[in-house]
Amino acid sequence: LVLLAGCALSLTLMPVGIGGLVSHQLRWLWPVGAVVLVVVLTSVADALKPFMSRRVGDAVVLTAGLIVAAVTLPTYVSPHGPTTGRDSLVTARKLDDQIDVLEDRGTVLIDVSTLLFAEPYSGYLFSELARRDIPFVFEDESMIRQFGEGRRNRGDATSRIWLRQGAAAIEGEAGRPDVQRIALARALDTAETGELEGLEQALRADASENGLRLNDEGQRAAGEGRLPASALDPDPDQHPFESIGDLNLAVREGWLDLTPDQATRYQRLVALRTRQAFDTVAIFAAPIDVRPSE
C-alpha cells in the first residue's frame, strides 16, 4: 500500500509535457506492477489452499497471472516519445547508403548546431558511423556528456559534417565551394512533388478568390491566442496561412471554414508539406575550419 501510494503521489506531481504523459516516462511503473502482481497472486494462492490441492491452486494463480500480463500489453504504438520518428527509417536508410565517402576521411567532427528539435536523423547517423567504424567526435558539451569524453574533439578531426532538413537540405550551403553535400534523401517522389505543387496552386486560388476564413472554433482559438498572429495578419506578398506551421495547426484542429472537398485537399497538402519539411534530409561535409551557414 505504501508503494502504491508513493506511485500515485509521483504521478500526481509529474509534469505533463507537450505530448502528455507518454509511455517512456512511466516505465518505472513496470517493476512496481510486477511486485504488486506477485503480492496479489501469492495472497490468492494462500487463500485457495483450504479449497483445492496445491497443484490446482498453482495452475489457477499462474493462469490468472498470464491473463493479467496479456491484458496489460500495449495495443498500439504511442505517437509520442522515442517512437515518434519510426516513420523516418526509410529516409534514414537512403542517407546510410550514401555516406561511403566518409570512410576515407579519417575522424569527422559532427556539428550539431543545425539540428532541429527532436529530429530523428542524427541518431541514425551516429549509429551508422559507429557500425562502419568511422571515428567521430563532437565539440558540443551536451553531446560529450551523452557520449563520454572519448568523443571529445581533441584536434584529431579533419572534416566537419552536419545535417540539414527541408528546404535547407536542397538550397542550403549553395554557392560555397568548400562545402560538399555528400548525401541527400528526398521525402517526396516526382509524382508527390507534382501533387504538392498542384495543391499549393489550389490553396492560393482559394485564398485569392474567397479568402481562408476561420470558423467559430477558429475565432475562439485566435481570441485565446492559440492561433499565431501571423496567420491573421499575413505578409501582403503571401497568401494567408503561408506558414507551414500556421496551416498545419489550423487544418489539424479544424479551425478553417472549409467545404468537405477543401478539407480533404488541405489535409493532404499539410501531410505532404510536413514530409517535405522534415523528411527531406541532407548531410554536408567541409574542412574542419568551415562551419555551417547561419
Total domains in the chain come to 2
* Lowest-confidence segment of 79-88, 112-121, 220-229 by average pLDDT: 79-88
Given a contact cutoff of 8 angstroms between Cβ atoms, the answer to whether 172 and 116 are in contact is: no
Q: Are residues 151 and 283 in the same domain?
A: yes
The answer to whether residues 19 and 89 belong to one domain is no
pLDDT at 197 over 80: yes
CB 63 within 8 A of CB 249: no
Confidence tier at 289 by pLDDT (50, 70, 90): very high
Residue type (1 letter), 2: V
* Separation of alpha carbons 146 and 34, rounded Å: 30
pLDDT of 73 reads 76
Same domain, 144 and 280: yes
Could you tell me where the DSSP H helices lie in the chain? 2-13, 29-48, 54-71, 89-96, 121-131, 141-147, 167-171, 190-209, 216-223, 229-232, 244-252, 260-279
Residue 191: all three cell numbers together: 509524382
The whole-number pLDDT of residue 224 equals 84
Instruction: Give the model's pLDDT for residue 18.
Output: 54
Q: Which residues partner with 283 through β-bridges?
A: 163, 183
Q: What is the pLDDT of residues 261-272, one digit of tens each?
A: 888 988 999 889
Predicted local confidence at residue 228, as pLDDT: 67
Q: Do residue 209 and residue 165 come from a single domain? A: yes
Mean pLDDT of 4-25: 73
Co-location of 158 and 289 in the same domain? yes
All residues at 6 or more sequence positions from 200 whose CB lies less than 8 Å from its CB, including other chains: 269
Last residue of a domain, one of 52, 75, 98: 75
- Residue 253 CA, chain-centre distance (Å), reads 19
Confidence at 167, pLDDT banded by 50, 70, 90: confident
Q: Are residues 66 and 113 both part of a single domain?
A: no
What is the Cα–Cα distance from 89 to 258, expressed in whole angstroms? 34
- Domain limits at 179? 81-213+257-294
Q: Is the pTM of this model over 0.75?
A: no
